[in-house]
Amino acid sequence: MYHYRKSEKAYSHFPKPIDCPFCDPKETATAVRETEHAFVIPNRTFYDIWELRRVTDHLMIVPKQHVCSLADLSDAAKLDIMNLIGEYESGDYNVYARSATSTTRSVAHQHTHLIKAEQKLARMLLHIRRPYVTIKF
């Protein structure tokens, strides 16, 4: 997963919330879907490249209850979220979530990324980040 330089800059300058953004009604007001236990919301700073393909849509499933892990949810909430995941996965969305202890996780509230990408591979990807250089053709 990669950001273009412009997107990376916007992401790095995006204000980091003091409180949980997923518990903020303004954030969940953008939901494209709502179930009893979860919201599906657009990711405001989505990835540009996923598995060497251009991203066309980037959503997130966010539990209504503030938890750090799916394991902390009730069985009903887990089932509700798994049904959402299955529905989006069958619609060609990739499913991705970081663990509760991940150091790269930006928000402590559990959320699952739904990433839809073009079917064709990017012709070329040049990714330079110290100390690594990645070139894919």
* pLDDT attached to residue 19: 83
> What does pTM read for this prediction?
0.76
Of 42-46, 56-60, 62-66, 102-106, the least confident: 102-106
**What does pLDDT average to over the chain?**
82
Domains and their CATH numbers in the chain: 5-136 (3.30.428.10)
Of 43 and 73, the one with more pLDDT? 73
For residue range 69-94, list pLDDT tens digits in order.
Answer: 999 999 999 999 999 999 999 999 99
Of 71-80, 102-111, 122-131, the least confident: 122-131
Three-state secondary structure string covering the chain: CECCHHHHHHHHHCCCCCCCHHHCHHHHCCCCEECCCEEEEECCCCCCEECCEEEEEEEEEEECCCCCCHHHCCHHHHHHHHHHHHHHHHCCEEEECCCCCCCCCCCCCCCEEEEEECCCCCCCEEEEECCEEEEEC
